[in-house]
Structure 1
Amino acid sequence: MKNKQYLASLLLFFVIIFSSKAAQVDTVLVFSASMKKNIKTCVILPDSYKKSDKKFPVVYLLHGYSGNYASWAKDFKELKKQVDLYNFIVIGVDGNYSSWYFDSPIDPSFKYETYVTSELVSYIDKNYKTISTRDGRAISGLSMGGHGALYLSIKHQDIFGAAGSMSGGVDFRPFPDNWDIKKRLGSINEFPENWNKNTVVNMLDLLPNNSLKLIIDCGVDDFFMKVNRDLHDKMLDKKINHDYIERPGEHNLAYWENALKFQLLFFSNFFNEKAKI
């Protein structure tokens, strides 16, 4: 009987010890001067954050259409463990449900490129112990957010040193009536220049010197598979270095949970090389 009680007590001790190590999840309000509103943001800090005086690299994660800032912490069950494993800060960005993460040329109330690259990054660097250079920042996202991560990193290589896309809508022109894109750009027939200028596949000329570390990932049964393959082929033609992954999977959470593991490892390797964490 005493042995059983001892074993039970020992088991409880280890449960308490190991469960006490957990990333901290906070929700903060970040004011956007460009859009004149507060925007909720999820900040996930590794368990080591409070115990260390060092500065931490940051990964910004962009949700897909109809998602929000809390999607990553709520839906990705392993994310907090991964934050502790790699010892970087993760930011769950809110891009409205359908911003596509650019500054809308037809709707001045949607300035999410300005918000993410200027206002949000500045807030995070001011309020947290971050490595506030491109060598300490990465950005990724899924679906709409995959497009956004590549779009923002390509346009702002002074801010982000690495970027990824999971099932990204990297060329949305084949989908002119979907996901409120025409609310942000106007109709493709009336404003074709808006669509051509703001789709990732047409932005590769901004990557002449392989200055970004890039990882692109899409499931073979995803409706965005073709546009991702087309982007990959175009990058090969232009000799743009990137990691490219296709694996069985659809446009769903099960695929993204697996893909995120590869992306975070990719970013950890980048930070280890560049930021010397």
Structure 2
Amino acid sequence: MKKIMLLLALIITNCIQASKTHSITVYSASMGKIIPVLVIVPDKTTIKSNYPVIYILHGYSGNPQRTLSQDIPSLVQRADTDQVIFVLPDGGFNSWYVNSPVNKSIQYETFISKELPSYTEAHFPTKKGPKNCCLLGWSMGGFGTLTIGSQHPETFGILGSMCGVIDFRDYVKEYDIDKVLGNDGFVWEQYLVRSRITALETSGQRILLDCGTEDPLAQQNRQFHDLLVQHKILHDYMEHPGNHNAAYWSKAALLQLDFFKRFFDGK
């Protein structure tokens, strides 16, 4: 009897943590190169046959493997509990998820907004439409979430930024932004998050902003929150004690995932 009970316990445990992590590569025609991507899919024996999708953009110098080991280590389990597919593209060391005007091998807006979703929908059991698709990121990935997502409401229905870079001009040399956008200040202005306000006024997207109170980017996020209020753009803004590190956004991500689940459930 004890052996039977132990076997049942092992079976139950395996079912609970049965989501599958696929390490794949996706060819980007816009960049002419292959991009590594991790895709976490719920267990196929669960009730649903198609799932909402959450695309996750890592921060500067990050990668999908680090996301699973340090930034949001609970993602694999959350795929099953939340019944969603997570897609984690490798955004490079310092791509800033832009379509670079100076480097044709950096065209990540096109990849994230068009090429990757097309591939995901063709190869995985996804639900279609923006109401079933979210974009989530932190730091550089938060910047990418807001700049890409705001331009593509036809793809992403909800945007979640944690500790996001809103204005990169103080960090141009430190974080290699000049290598991606060049040295023309006028060009930089076109890539700032605030330049997306007009698009957000009519996008109808759900927007979540979260930042630690001790984060050097906290003031930027507060100012962007104020700008959204000024333009009467609906959003949720949160602050919690914490700094610009994985200890903060690993917890903040769980709150955003809870919000996404309610969004998918129509609540």
* Fold in common (TM above 0.5): yes
The Cα of 1:192 is off from its aligned counterpart by 1.1
SS at match of 1:42: strand
Contact 1:71 1:92 in 2 (8 A): no
Contact 2:58 2:138 in 1 (8 A): yes
Aligned to 1:224: 217
Distance 1:50 1:11 in 2: 21
- Aligned residue identity for 2:32: K
Question: What is the correspondence of 1:6-21 to structure 2 with a 5 Å cutoff?
Answer: 10-11=5-6, 13-21=8-16
Which of 21, 31, 35 lines up with 1:35 in the alignment?
31
SS at match of 2:59: coil
Contact 2:31 2:107 in 1 (8 A): yes
Distance 2:246 2:228 in 1: 27
SS at match of 1:245: strand
SS at match of 2:96: coil
Distance 2:154 2:134 in 1: 12
User: Is structure 2 residue 234 aligned with structure 1 residue 241?
Assistant: yes
Aligned to 2:51: 56
Which of 124, 138, 141 lines up with 2:137 in the alignment?
141
Aligned to 1:272: 265
Aligned to 1:3: none
Aligned to 2:156: 160
Aligned to 1:72: 67
User: Is structure 2 residue 123 aligned with structure 1 residue 127?
Assistant: yes
Larger CA Rg, structure 1 vs 2: 1
The alpha-carbon distance between structure 1 residues 178 and 140, as it changes in their structure 2 partners (threshold 3 A), is: same
Residue deviations 1:189-221 (CA, integer Å, cap 9, x gap): xx1122111011221111223501010000011
| Count of aligned pairs | 265
Q: 178-187 vs 145-154, which deviates more? A: 178-187
Residue deviations 1:47-92 (CA, integer Å, cap 9, x gap): 2x35456321100000000011323223222111211111010001
User: Is structure 2 residue 192 aligned with structure 1 residue 199?
Assistant: yes
Distance 1:132 1:181 in 2: 34
Distance 2:202 2:115 in 1: 27
Aligned to 2:42: 46
Contact 2:37 2:88 in 1 (8 A): yes
Distance 2:234 2:203 in 1: 6
Distance 2:4 2:124 in 1: 38
The alpha-carbon distance between structure 1 residues 253 and 185, as it changes in their structure 2 partners (threshold 3 A), is: same
Residue deviations 1:106-163 (CA, integer Å, cap 9, x gap): 1111111111111111000000111121111000101000000111110111110001
Q: 78-87 vs 137-146, which deviates more? A: 78-87
User: Is structure 2 residue 182 aligned with structure 1 residue 182?
Assistant: no
The Cα of 1:232 is off from its aligned counterpart by 0.5
Distance 1:43 1:207 in 2: 28
The Cα of 1:175 is off from its aligned counterpart by 2.1
CA RMSD, Structure 1 to Structure 2 (Å): 1.7
